[in-house]
Amino acid sequence: MNRRLVPGLPSRHPLGAQLPAVYAEDDLAQRITEGLDEVLAPVLTVLDCLPAYFDPRLAPADFVALLAAWVGADVVVGGGGGGGGGDGDIGGADATAGAVPGAVAGHGLRGTRAGLAEQVRRAFGATPEIEESGGAVWSPTPGAPLPGSDRPYLLVRLRVTDPARVDTAALTAFVARNRPVHLPFRVEVLPR
């Protein structure tokens, strides 16, 4: 929504009423201040509602996009159902608003299985199954077998009610941006 173009938006603090008494009856001064009130009303409205602008559930869509950029939230760009947050729906203001709250905390988990699962869940509305080749173990015995596989891989499997509603290309691009960079990966979208 473009806050500059709200027709008839009144000012909560009309300038004409704040002028000295000598200008209270001056028609020209009152008309000039009415014109300024029309210009300033959207600014004052934004300032009156400023806390709501920093809550991604309440902020206008254009400001949510700015919030997402500020916190480094990875937002899905692509087709799909249009309203995020649902079972496999991607894109839209809801998906962007859903990515903002956990973005900062998610940066600490970036590149891990848990971090990738949470990012996919926030962006696509479904928690993925993730298989990977790595592992870590401690053993007091020298030469103990190593965990994981010799061949590096990452498999992200998303189970949703309607796989046709998930843009697989957008999911693939999303995983490519958020996976550990050294791992080759594969994405599967399957019915529940």
How does pLDDT run across 140-179, given as a tens digit for each residue?
999 888 888 888 999 999 999 999 999 999 999 999 988 8
SS3 44: helix
**Dist. CA 141–CA 150, nearest whole Å:** 20
Do 100 and 61 share a structural domain? yes
Do 187 and 110 share a structural domain? yes
Do 144 and 116 share a structural domain? yes
pLDDT score for 92: 55
pLDDT score for 147: 85
SS3 159: strand
Do 68 and 44 share a structural domain? no
- Whole-model pTM? 0.60
Do 155 and 61 share a structural domain? yes
Domain encompassing residue 95? 55-191
Q: Which percentage of the chain shows pLDDT scores above 70? A: 86
Work out the mean pLDDT of the chain and round it to a whole number: 83
**Dist. CA 138–CA 144, nearest whole Å:** 9
**Dist. CA 83–CA 178, nearest whole Å:** 22
Do 59 and 42 share a structural domain? no
Do 133 and 41 share a structural domain? no
Closest CA to 120 of 163, 80, 170, 72: 170
Do 62 and 113 share a structural domain? yes
- How many residues in total does the chain contain? 192
Closest CA to 56 of 42, 66, 43, 44: 66
Point out the domain boundary residue: 33, 48, 63.
Answer: 48
